[in-house]
Amino acid sequence: MNYDIIGDIHGQYDKLIGLLNHLGYEETNGIWSHNTHTAIFVGDLIDNTHVESGISHIKTVRLVKAMVEAGSALCIMGNHEFNAIAWMTPDPEDQTTFLREHTPNNDNQHKNFLAEVGENSPLHHEIIEWFKTLPLWLDLPAGIRVIHAAWIEEYQAVLKPYLTENNCLTDELVIKASRKGSAEYVALEALCKGLEIELPEGHGFKDKHGARRTGIRIRWWKNLTESTYKEVALVPEDARDSIPDLPIEQLNLKAKGYTGVPVFFGHYWFSGQPEPVANNIACVDYSAGKSGDTPLVAYRWEGESVLTEAGFMFAV
Ligand SMILES: [Mn+2]
CA of 147 to the centre of ligand 1 (A): 10
CA of 272 to the centre of ligand 1 (A): 18
Tell me the per-residue pLDDT of 14-44, one tens digit each, with 9 for 90 and over: 999 999 999 999 999 999 999 999 999 999 9
CA of 29 to the centre of ligand 1 (A): 31
Nearest Cα to Cα of residue 232 among 209, 255, 212, 261? 255
Give the 3-state secondary structure percentages of the chain, helix then strand then coil, rounded to 5. Answer: 30, 20, 45
Sign of CA dihedral 132, 136, 140, 146: positive
Give Cα separations from 144 to 21, 33, 45, 96, 284 (angstroms): 24, 20, 21, 43, 14
CA of 149 to the centre of ligand 1 (A): 7
Q: 6 with 39: CB under 8 angstroms? A: yes
> C-alpha 91: how far from its chain's center?
25
User: What pLDDT is stored for residue 223 in this prediction?
Assistant: 84
Residues of the chain predicted below pLDDT 50: none
For the residues of 258-270, what is the DSSP string, one character each?
--SS-EEE--S--
For the chain, domains (ranges, CATH) are 3-195+258-313 (3.60.21.10), 196-253 (no CATH)
Element (H, E) at 301: strand 298-301
CA of 80 to the centre of ligand 1 (A): 6
Tell me the per-residue pLDDT of 40-84, one tens digit each, with 9 for 90 and over: 999 999 999 999 999 999 999 999 999 999 999 999 999 999 999
Q: 276 with 307: CB under 8 angstroms? A: yes
Element (H, E) at 24: none
For the residues of 71-100, what is the DSSP string, one character each?
TSEEE---HHHHHHHHHTSEETTEEEEESS
Q: Which residues, in sequence order, are bridge partners of residue 137? A: 147
User: What pLDDT is stored for residue 136 in this prediction?
Assistant: 98
